[in-house]
Chain A
Amino acid sequence: MKKTFAFLTLAAVLAAPMAAQAHRAWMAPTATTLSGNDAWVGFDAGMSNQVFNPDHAAMRMTGLTITAPDGSAVQPEHAMQGQYRSTFDVHLTQNGTYKVANVMNGFMASYKLNGEQKRWRGAAAEFPAALPEGATDVQATRTASRIETFVTLNNPTDTVFTTTGEGLEMVPVTHPNDLVVGEPASFKLLKDGQPAGGLEVTVARGGLRYRDNPEESTVTTGADGAFTVTWPEAGMYWLNASVRTEGQGDTPGSNASYVAAVEVLP
């Protein structure tokens, strides 16, 4: 798996914030609500201006974690990387809800060496030893990116909603595979395990190529980190929030982002 996906687009997700804003990262399932004894679901993941329209860069999937309802890890199948999207399949063999997440946590630093601006990326443990001798003006940032979605075979379950306490995470209040037009749905955002209040969440519906109005909206989380969306139309929706804190002295800054794809049925 790790070898299949080339080192392509890390920059867009983890590095320059400008790039992250220019292109949106998404991972979308071919179906979210399944029935039967078992089922297959395909996933596409990429970075693009219009969510779910692969036209810019494939996503690097090194952080892919698939969690089955019983908590076990599931291996992706038929993985491949196209020019504009990475794809893989998941074979659902257990009843209940699966979480499919691409989680990339790391560390980055900008510094000056001989008057030249440089950038380093790696794991937190490697810092600051990995920086070259003579580096000055070091600014370090802890990065945490989570891009995830949920799919359910037969009756939904909530066993995969446990959080890690790292970065931005979502705790569903309304089950993410139980969304229909016109009904309000609530979710809670946590930053490093604590309620993330006052965050702006972007809500964008896919299929933008076939309409003129982006129909995008934003909603702000309350003090408890919760936000509510009432879906105006059926479709695949992209939910995104991010939070930055500046570093102070020896304390590194932090840059955490969260993306979910959820399907709303008519």
Chain B
Amino acid sequence: MRLLPVVITTAGLAVAAPAFAADLSVSVEIPRLNTAAYHRPYVAVWIEKPDQTAERTLAVWYQQTRNNEGDGKDWLKDLRTWWRKGGRAMTLPADGVSGATRAPGRQTVTVPAARLNGLQPGQYNLVVEAARELGGREVVRVPFRWGAANTADASGSSELGAVRVTVSR
């Protein structure tokens, strides 16, 4: 695991495709919300089978530290869907999966081919869930095909914007 770092870059950097060929790339738009008390959302990105059972978690963005309100992990359960379908069974922080919360804008998760070795070709959903302190929660599912190059899009309406999945093989 330690030998296979996940490259999580901003959208701008991801365009310059790295030499080790990213196989699965997810771009997630975190909307800029004009509210009195904005906190960056907790976000989970995972792959699930068509029956909605979790296949694997690709990224979880949450507060990595403890402050006077508590430990960042205290609110992971607010990513309700992800928490129930697999998050609660994980040991966090997890190498290449956990990360700090992201700012509004387009954020990209790029997963190198080697990390998806065991993923059988077929139909999957890429799921993104966002939950925000003093805000709402939203889950966006993007059906995509693993095994051939394709792109798939979906969009959220409140806590998430456009989500794009790119399989390059």
Residues of A within 8 A of B (CB): 33-37, 39, 154-156, 178, 180, 265-266
Cβ of B133 within 8 Å of any chain A Cβ, yes or no, is no
Determine whether the beta carbon of A155 is less than 8 Å from that of B71: no
A contact residues around B84 at 8 Å (CB): 178, 180, 265
Determine whether the beta carbon of A33 is less than 8 Å from that of B89: no
Which 4 A/B pairs are nearest by Cβ-Cβ distance?
A36-B74, A35-B77, A35-B76, A36-B73
Determine whether the beta carbon of A35 is less than 8 Å from that of B75: yes
A160–B97 CA distance with the chains assembled, in angstroms: 32
Cβ of B70 within 8 Å of any chain A Cβ, yes or no, is yes
Residue on A nearest B79 in the bound complex, by CB: A35
Cβ of B38 within 8 Å of any chain A Cβ, yes or no, is no
A39–B80 CA distance with the chains assembled, in angstroms: 17
Q: A178-B84, A265-B80, A266-B80 are in contact. Are A35 and B74 (CB under 8 A)?
A: yes
B86-126: which residues lie under 8 A (CB-CB) from chain A?
88-89
Determine whether the beta carbon of B83 is less than 8 Å from that of A35: yes
Some 16 contacts from A to B, beta carbons below 8 A apart, are A33-B77, A33-B80, A33-B83, A35-B74, A35-B75, A35-B76, A35-B83, A36-B70, A36-B74, A36-B75, A36-B76, A37-B73, A39-B74, A155-B89, A178-B84, A180-B84
Residue on A nearest B77 in the bound complex, by CB: A35
Residues of B within 8 A of A (CB): 70-71, 73-77, 80, 83-84, 88-89
- The secondary-structure label for the interface of chain A is loop
A contact residues around B88 at 8 Å (CB): 35, 154-156
Known: A34-B74, A35-B75. 12 other contacts (CB 8 A): A33-B77, A33-B80, A33-B83, A34-B77, A35-B73, A36-B74, A36-B75, A37-B71, A37-B73, A155-B89, A178-B84, A265-B80
A37–B93 CA distance with the chains assembled, in angstroms: 12
Q: What is the CB-to-nearest-CB distance from B113 to chain A, in angstroms, rounded to a whole number? A: 30
B contact residues around A155 at 8 Å (CB): 88-89
Residue on B nearest A266 in the bound complex, by CB: B80
Residue on B nearest A36 in the bound complex, by CB: B74
Q: What is the CB-to-nearest-CB distance from B149 to chain A, in angstroms, rounded to a whole number? A: 35
Q: What is the CB-to-nearest-CB distance from A178 to chain B, in angstroms, rounded to a whole number? A: 7
Determine whether the beta carbon of A36 is less than 8 Å from that of B83: no
Residue on A nearest B74 in the bound complex, by CB: A36
A180–B77 CA distance with the chains assembled, in angstroms: 14
Q: What is the CB-to-nearest-CB distance from A98 to chain B, in angstroms, rounded to a whole number? A: 15
Determine whether the beta carbon of B71 is less than 8 Å from that of A36: yes
A contact residues around B89 at 8 Å (CB): 155
B contact residues around A156 at 8 Å (CB): 88
B contact residues around A33 at 8 Å (CB): 77, 80, 83
A contact residues around B83 at 8 Å (CB): 33, 35
Q: What is the CB-to-nearest-CB distance from A20 to chain B, in angstroms, rounded to a whole number? A: 35
B contact residues around A154 at 8 Å (CB): 88
A contact residues around B76 at 8 Å (CB): 35-36
B contact residues around A36 at 8 Å (CB): 70-71, 73-76
A contact residues around B80 at 8 Å (CB): 33, 265-266
A contact residues around B73 at 8 Å (CB): 35-37
Residue on A nearest B80 in the bound complex, by CB: A265
A266–B54 CA distance with the chains assembled, in angstroms: 18
Q: What is the CB-to-nearest-CB distance from B9 to chain A, in angstroms, rounded to a whole number? A: 28
Question: Considering residues A35, A36, A39, A154, which has the most beta carbons from chain B within 10 angstroms of its beta carbon?
Answer: A35
A84–B89 CA distance with the chains assembled, in angstroms: 38
A33–B131 CA distance with the chains assembled, in angstroms: 15
B contact residues around A34 at 8 Å (CB): 74, 77
Q: What is the CB-to-nearest-CB distance from B94 to chain A, in angstroms, rounded to a whole number? A: 14
Residue on B nearest A179 in the bound complex, by CB: B84
Q: What is the CB-to-nearest-CB distance from B40 to chain A, in angstroms, rounded to a whole number? A: 18
A33–B75 CA distance with the chains assembled, in angstroms: 10
A33–B81 CA distance with the chains assembled, in angstroms: 12
B contact residues around A265 at 8 Å (CB): 80, 84
Q: What is the CB-to-nearest-CB distance from A159 to chain B, in angstroms, rounded to a whole number? A: 16
